[in-house]
Amino acid sequence: MAVPSIRLATGAKMPIIGLGMWLSKPGEAANSVRYALNNGYRLIDTAACYFNEQDLGQVLDEEYIKQGKLKREDVFITTKVRRFFTFFPHL
């Protein structure tokens, strides 16, 4: 089944349905990410205050990108950054 998407200013088509990581416990979130990616989800929403971004990154990188199952540009990750964190130079 094709997932509805919107076209971004870059020309990329981003799915409008994705996995929300809120209330996914650190350590358990990895299973949700695996399930979503294995079932065609390509949009994942998270936030620093959910404390599960590391699980997302680890699963995506080690189990999908490095193994050639997905390309990084195939997955959209949305997040929220609190104003407090915007002083970090890497943001």
Residue extents of the structural domains in the chain: 5-81
Catalytic residue among 35, 41, 50, 64: 50
pLDDT tens, position by position, 36-90: 999 999 999 999 888 889 999 999 999 999 999 999 999 999 998 777 666 666 6
Would you state the pLDDT for residue 2? 77
Name the strand (E) or helix (H) holding 77. strand 76-78
The pTM score is 0.83
Rounded (5°) CA angle 58-62-66: 140
- pLDDT for residue 1 is more than 70: no
Check if 41 is active-site: no
